[in-house]
Amino acid sequence: MALTLTRIASAFGYFSTIPRLLFTNAGSQQLPAMSLCRFYIFQPFSAGSASPEDGAGENYSEFQRWHNGGGTFHKSAQIDPSASVDIGAVVHSKAVVGAHVHIGSGAIIGPSVTIGQSTKIGYNVALSNCTVGDLCVIHNGVCIGQDGFGFLVDEHGNMLKKPQMLNARIGSNVEIGANSCIDRGSWRDTVVGDHSKIDNLVQIAHNVVIGKCCMLCGQVGIAGSVTVGDYVTMGGRVLVRDHVSIASKVRLAGASCVTKHITEPGDYGGFPAVPIHEWRRQVIMHRLAVKKKNP
């Protein structure tokens, strides 16, 4: 047992303490053998003596506790003194956090993130490779700035990841609902304009540009490289295919699917989405055909 504990102590750098505890009567009376095992196995993993490098290359010794809320921040991060970082939140190196920002517990603010003043970040939010404007509300579980879903097929039929190297830019006075996801760009930044409102469970893919004062209801899915104008409203579960443009002041009925460009303002619906009056005529004609077939 003594030899085993000595090897354990040597592995963690305790060369002088373990022999004194093991080979003196006082030490053996104070700590039984099992207590010594517990002490020397678990002590090195405490916060005060963590490994100097983690998987992301961050140095643990450079993280400190924020005075307002008890969260953790890297000493190279720029955080306004009025900001609140709740316990369990982490602000990584070179992140910028503006005045009166509130960051909830479990939130992760990555190294390439800038947050404007008076923005509220909910619990378990993950921000990376993005900027967030002033007076925004980011609800619980939102992810912004992760890689988009882009892959290439090589000559051997293998799937290769397409580089996702750009950012996501969120304007001011934007609200993003719980568990929504906004990917970073690959050939242009992903953008959400000022005063736009996004409901829960919305997916915005890479390279999407959304104008100002848009409203996206629950479970909307926008594929890559879509361009959306200003004052656009999408009902629940609207789908937009990739590389489609939607003009300003368009309203899309719930569960519609946009498969081609919409160039004129107005109301649209259906699959594929057409002007709302045409869609209504299609629905009526279908019902009449069904009744005629099954009287």
Enzyme catalytic residues: 206
Q: At 161, phi and psi to the nearest 5?
A: -75, 130
State the CB neighbour count (10 A cutoff) for residue 272: 12
Burial 40-77 (b: 16+ CB within 10 A, else e): beeeeeeeeeeeeeeeeebeeeebeebeebebbbbeeb
Residue 60 is classified by DSSP as G
Q: CA-to-CA distance for 142 and 125, rounded, in angstroms?
A: 5
For 36, how many CA atoms within 13 A lie in the half-sphere containing its CB? 24
| Structure token pair of residue 97 | 């956090």
Closest by alpha carbon to 260, among 281, 279, 245, 276? 245
Rounded to 5 degrees, φ, ψ at 168 are: -115, 140
